[in-house]
Every structure is written in C-alpha cells, then in structure tokens.
Structure 1
Amino acid sequence: MKPESPTERPAAVHPSVARRLAAMVYEALIVAAILLAAGLLYSLAAGGIVEGGLRLAFQAYLVAVLGLYFVWCWRRGRTLAMRAWHLRVVREDGRPLSTGQAALRFVLAALTLGTGSLGLIAVWKAPYSWGAWAAVAAGLLTVAWAWFDRDGQFLHDRLARTRLVLVKEARKPRAAA
C-alpha cells in the first residue's frame, strides 16, 4: 500500500484557540518543573551562587534546556501537554517536523509567546513601561492572529510553516472484570 499524498489526505481538524490556550497553561506548569530541575542542577554545579557572568550563562543554559525539550518533543509530534489536550504539531503537508523546523518553531514561539510572557512579568513590576507593554503586544499578536488565520493557526506556526491539529485518540477496549 502506498502512502497517501498530501492532496489525498483528509482535511485536518484544527483545534480551537481555547484548547490551544488551555494546553499552553498546562505546558507552563511542565516548563516550570523543567526549569526548576535544570536550575537546581546548574546551581549545584556552580556552587550555589549564580551572579555576574554565571548569571548570563545560567539564562542561556535555561533557554537551551527549553529548546532541547521542545525540539525533541515536536520532532515526535507533541509535548506532554499537547498529548493531554489531543494536539499534534505537523508540517503544512501533514508530515512530522524536521529538527530544523522544530528549532525554527521554538525560536519564533520564544520571540512571540516567550517575549509576551516576560512582558507580563515586567508590566507587573513596571506598569508604565512602554517596552514591557510592547513585549506583551508581541505575545497577544500571535494569539490574536489565530482568530483571523484561515486555519486558526498562531502566528509563529504560520511563519514556521507548521500547524497544530486535533488528534482523535483510539480508545483501548476495557478488560472484562
């Protein structure tokens, strides 16, 4: 049996923006746990105090840890949060992401959603900072984009030529008692 061509594939079901945002909240909890564990390892290796040049190295290390996590998961189609919410990330033609495409998606998501998240923290501390509000706007733009996009995709997905699709999981039959 030959594989389906992209033109023969059934139309993908695109998840709602609400489902995507719920998955992002769940993902934030997972990311927090990953960053805490990675931070502990770095702190132990650095002797407990992270300041000066070590602080910049620490921040780069945390970004690299997140990059590895997301690229590794997206190459396989989904993160733990995406699995829980029945989401999968694929290329525009429906095939799995390459490592380069997953890395591009990470960079674009970090520039939009990551910047927006950091902007929210900055606004909390300095509500009159134009720079903080500009960062929040970057995050809001990628989410708002989904309401106008023909497939309901976030801006970083459109730019990376990826898309999120809703996956119907096959249920395993229950064993008779």
Structure 2
Amino acid sequence: MTKQAAPSSTASPLSTPTLRRRLACWLYEGVLLFGVVFVASLLFSVVTQTRHGLQNRPELQAFLFLLLGLYFTWCWTHSHTLPMRTWHIRIQGPDGRPPSPGRALRRYLLSWIWLLPPLAAGSLFGLQGGPLLALTLGWIACWAALSWLHPKRQFWHDAWAGTELVFDPSQPTKAGRSRKA
C-alpha cells in the first residue's frame, strides 16, 4: 500500500496568536525574567564587591542588557522561550524556520521599543513613580494595539526584524504530549 501525501490545499498555515495570548506570554516572561535578573544582579554584586545599590550601576545595566540579549537570542534561535512554549507560541523567520542568530538579535534590539520610549520621556520630563508607571503602561497598551494595523496582526518590531509569532498547538507540553486545539 502506498502512502499518499495530503493535498496542500487542506493544510492550514499556522495562525498568529491572539493579542491576549501574546500579552499573557509577555507577562509570564516578565515574571521569569524577574528571577533571572535578580540572581544575575546578585552574582554581579558579589563578583564586583558592590556595597551600595548605585555603585557600578552602568556596568550592571550593561551586564544585564547583554545577558538578556544572550538569553533571548539563544531561545529564539531554538523557536521559543519557556513562556512561549507554555502558551504554544513559536517564533519563526520568513522561511518558517527558527530565526537566525542575527535576526533574533535584531528582534531583541527592536523589542526594546516596548520600554525605551516611555523611559526616555520619563527621564526627559522628570517623571517617577506613578506617573512613569502610567506612561509606561499606556505606551505598552498602545504599542500592543498597533498590531491590529499589521496585515498579519504581528507586532511591528517582529515585522521590522523579519520574524513572526505563530500559534502552534502541536508543540509538546508536559510529558511530551501534544495539545490539539
């Protein structure tokens, strides 16, 4: 008996995850990164013998920026981070494969658009505390909503980096089982 390939017309391409799913993944990523940044900052402080929170601050920020860049670049070249895997989101390049290291690094740099504009405005206008938080959350909401203007509903930093997020329900979950949606 010969095996027949399924017609390509029945194969549906992977869809863009909903905005709600992507933001939930983003929030989960933030929770995990809190721990990563905490431990990395502690190790940095021990190694550099930092005795005060403002001591070595630019060096710590540069260290964390590089560490996060390495983390995201490595994870994205392997299709996903842990939160992305949990929410069945995969990142891919234009060819449908995981992005190259250069493309993943470009996405990492462009993804800072989520935070840099409100932080720069806050610094320029001397905002702190509640007003800075409100500005940041407002910007995040606006930036996320702008994805509705993209033809595939992707975030614009993904479009500029040449990557896209796709909902992949066939990704293995706990114990190697696949979830069917």
Whether TM exceeds 0.5 here: the answer is yes
Contact 1:42 1:58 in 2 (8 A): yes
Greater mean alpha carbon deviation, residues 114-123 or residues 55-64: 114-123
SS of the aligned residue for 1:25 comes to helix
Partner of 2:17: 15
Greater mean alpha carbon deviation, residues 77-86 or residues 143-152: 143-152
Give, in whole Å, the separation in 2 of the partners of 1:38 and 1:160.
27
What's the offset of the Cα at 1:119?
7.1
- Matched ranges for 1:44-123 at <5 A: 44-50=46-52, 54-110=56-112, 112-115=113-116, 118=119
Count of aligned pairs between the two proteins: 160
Contact 1:116 1:137 in 2 (8 A): no
- Matched ranges for 1:96-175 at <5 A: 96-110=98-112, 112-115=113-116, 118=119, 125=129, 127=131, 133=135, 139-169=140-170, 172=177
AA at the equivalent of 1:148: L
Contact 2:76 2:99 in 1 (8 A): yes
Give, in whole Å, the separation in 1 of the partners of 2:117 and 2:26.
13
TM (normalized to structure 2)? 0.76
Give, in whole Å, the separation in 2 of the partners of 1:117 and 1:162.
24
- Percent identical residues: 32
What's the offset of the Cα at 1:12?
2.1
AA at the equivalent of 2:82: L
Unaligned runs of 5+ in 1: 1-8
Partner of 1:4: none
Give, in whole Å, the separation in 2 of the partners of 1:144 and 1:69.
26
SS of the aligned residue for 1:24 comes to helix
Give, in whole Å, the separation in 1 of the partners of 2:99 and 2:30.
22
AA at the equivalent of 2:177: K
RMSD of aligned alpha carbons: 2.9
- Label 1:25 to 1:136 Cα distance change in 2 as closer, same or farther (>3 A): closer
What's the offset of the Cα at 1:63?
0.6
Partner of 1:3: none
Partner of 1:40: 42
Unaligned runs of 5+ in 2: 1-10
Contact 1:74 1:97 in 2 (8 A): yes
- Label 1:50 to 1:159 Cα distance change in 2 as closer, same or farther (>3 A): farther
Contact 1:115 1:139 in 2 (8 A): no
AA at the equivalent of 2:155: F
SS of the aligned residue for 1:66 comes to helix
Contact 1:87 1:164 in 2 (8 A): yes
